[in-house]
Structure 1
Amino acid sequence: MIVARHAVSDPGKAAERSRLLEEHKAYLQGAAIRILLSGPSAPPVEGRGSTALVIAEVETLAEFEAFNTGDPFVRSGVYASVEIFEWRPTLGLLLERLSDGS
């Protein structure tokens, strides 16, 4: 299954986010799940938190939720909100690559 996580940073935690950024990146790179895409949005409007998206292929939603719980940004409260949901893509070049195992 394909799972997506949409997270919005707490603008009041900018210093904490900066301090944990390399640890967060290392956590994503060393993940036991298959991350297909991950990254932040364009720079946020002043006073708003930045957003980030992770798209992963997992066996179960619980597997992704366990991964999410271990993320340094989640553990430290850098994210003001996190939404996790199963995504069912129906069209696109990346979907075709997933289907043929590339």
Structure 2
Amino acid sequence: MIVARYAVSDPGKAAERSRLIEEHKAYLHGAAIRILLSGPSAPPAEGKGSTAIVMAQVETLAEFEAFSAGDPFVRSGVYASVDIFEWRPSLGLLLESL
């Protein structure tokens, strides 16, 4: 199953985000799940939180939810919101490699 996490940073937690960025990256790089793509959006408009997407291939949604819960950004409240959902891609060049 392909899952996606769409997270929006809390602009008030910018210092915490900066402090944890390397730990967050290490967590993603060391993941026991298969991360397909991950990264932030372009810089946000002033006063808005930045967004980030992680797409992964996992056996169950619960497996990804547990992985996400361990992310330093999630644990510390850097994200104001986190949405996790199953995604069913049906078209595209990358689909053949899944």
TM-score normalized with structure 2 length: 0.99
Which residue of 1 is the match for residue 22 of structure 2? Answer: 22
Q: CA deviation at 1:34?
A: 0.2
Give the aligned residue type for 1:96: E
CA RMSD of aligned residues (A): 0.3
In the TM superposition, what whole-angstrom CA distance separates every residue of 1:23-56 from its partner, at most 9, and x where no partner exists? 0000000000000000000000010000000000
Which residue of 2 is the match for residue 58 of structure 1? Answer: 58
Which residue of 2 is the match for residue 80 of structure 1? Answer: 80
Q: What CA distance in whole angstroms lies between the structure 1 residues aligned with 2:17 and 2:32?
A: 23
Gapped regions of structure 2 (runs ≥ 5): none
In the TM superposition, what whole-angstrom CA distance separates every residue of 1:59-92 from its partner, at most 9, and x where no partner exists? 0000000000100000000000000000000000
- Could you list the structure 1 runs, at least 4 aligned residues long, displaced by more than 6 angstroms after superposition: none
- Which runs of structure 2 are paired with 1:1-102 in the superposition (5 Å)? 1-98=1-98
Gapped regions of structure 1 (runs ≥ 5): none
Q: CA deviation at 1:97?
A: 1.4
Question: How many residue pairs align between the two structures?
Answer: 98
